[in-house]
Amino acid sequence: MGYKVVVAGATGNVGREMLNILAEREFPVDEIAVLASRKSLGTEVSFGDKTLKTQDLATFDFTGWDIALFAVGSGPTKEFAPKAAAAGCVVIDNSSLYRYDPDVPLIVPEVNADAVHGYSKKNIIANPNCSTAQMVVALKPLHDRAKIKRVVVSTYQSVSGSGKEGMDELWEQTKSVYNPVSEVPPKKYPKEIAFNVIPHIDVFMEDGSTKEEWKMVAETKKIIDPSIKLTATCVRVPVFVGHSEAINIEFEDFLDEDEARDILREAPGIMVIDKREDGGYITPKECVGDFATFISRIRQDSTIENGLNLWCVSDNLRKGAALNAVQIAEVLGQKVLKKG
């Protein structure tokens, strides 16, 4: 006996990826429903070797369904997630709406799977921000060994983190560089993204940081340890898929780079590719379509007493969104619902 699963936002980049990953990982699905907004009603999407037609999220009855994976943004989530939860369907939400709610667990299964038991307060579980998800997978096993005091992270985030509009804008602007007859002014981003980098993701806050940077701080504290100090600079780069991060970590105790490398090799969800030679590291292009979070360039930071630097790369549509949501569903099934 398997699960009755709903994917809301099935026509978007993340929703389609959720369907791919459910099929790839052979999640025990007895029945599946794919939902979208009214304007996308009837659009066909793939689930394994099946083709499914989308139903209307606004009128869907969640009664009798087990799990709903939401990839629809905060607005529709605010309206429909409580309805699904009230009908007895556990919502796993990819938006930012519930991440900071103390009654909603924020989960990265490799890091804090046991937090899933807190779902029952609202029948909702939150998926973290894409840039946070891959980082905490790398930080947690190191924190368990030497306790992290402070993290300085600079991100290099792909345009797919902004959805289809961001990917289209990069594509059209790149073409326009080689065909100057057509001009493609910025719409999704505040400045041109083609052949450029933009140190601005989400809105600016009073202290000069952006909301994306604030998210990384708040989510890391909630997922791993509230005592960790973290500062971030989040940058959008002209890459279609795959987020990269340069992470500097200061520990309470000394941690040798060789031991750190061994710890990360043994940690769940991580692949270490770290050769000190040309090409002995992973770039975002190479991580696309993979489940792993890749770690490279592990080295001591000699400017502080107990410091390490590392390079972290992951497919943001997978580990940063769809894969993490499906992994949460797997944990929910194994630890709580126990079907399939």
> Three-state DSSP class for 129?
coil
Same domain? For 250 and 151 the reply is yes
Q: Would you say residue 58 lies in a domain?
A: yes
Of 89, 143, 243, 287, the catalytic one is 243
Same domain? For 103 and 44 the reply is yes
Q: What is the CATH number of the domain that holds 9?
A: 3.40.50.720
pLDDT at 41: 85
> Three-state DSSP class for 233?
strand
Same domain? For 309 and 204 the reply is yes
CA distances from 332 to 100, 271, 315, 338 (A): 20, 25, 23, 8
Is 243 noted as a catalytic residue in this protein?
yes
Q: What is the CATH number of the domain that holds 147?
A: 3.30.360.10
Same domain? For 116 and 216 the reply is no
Binding site residues for substrate, as ranges?
157, 236
Q: Give the CA angle between residues 166, 168, 172 to the nearest 5°.
A: 120
pLDDT at 81: 98
Same domain? For 68 and 115 the reply is yes
Burial of 142 (0-12, 13-18, 19+ CB in 10 A): buried
d(CA 174, CA 183) in angstroms, rounded, equals: 10
Domain count, the chain: 2
Q: In sequence order, what DSSP letters do the residues of 181-226 get, joined into one string?
A: TS----SSSSS--TT--BS--S-B-TTS-BHHHHHHHHHHHHHT-T
Site of tokens 């270490």: 272
pLDDT at 309: 98
Binding site residues for phosphate, as ranges?
99
Same domain? For 246 and 269 the reply is yes
Q: CB of 101 within 8 A of CB of 119?
A: no
pLDDT at 340: 65
Q: Would you say residue 181 lies in a domain?
A: no
Binding site residues, as ranges?
11-14, 39-40, 99, 157, 160-161, 236, 316
Q: Would you say residue 55 lies in a domain?
A: yes
**For residue 239, what are the domain limits?**
131-158+197-314
Same domain? For 123 and 138 the reply is no
Same domain? For 63 and 211 the reply is no
Averages of pLDDT over each 10 residues, the chain, 340 residues: 95 95 96 93 92 96 98 95 98 97 98 97 97 98 98 98 95 93 92 98 98 98 98 98 98 98 98 98 97 98 97 95 96 89
pLDDT at 182: 82
Give 89's DSSP letter. Answer: P
Q: Would you say residue 298 lies in a domain?
A: yes
Of 89, 130, 287, 312, the catalytic one is 130
Is 312 noted as a catalytic residue in this protein?
no
Same domain? For 332 and 262 the reply is no
Give 155's DSSP letter. Answer: E
Give 58's DSSP letter. Answer: G
Alpha helices in the chain (DSSP H): 13-24, 74-86, 109-112, 130-146, 164-178, 211-223, 257-266, 284-287, 323-332
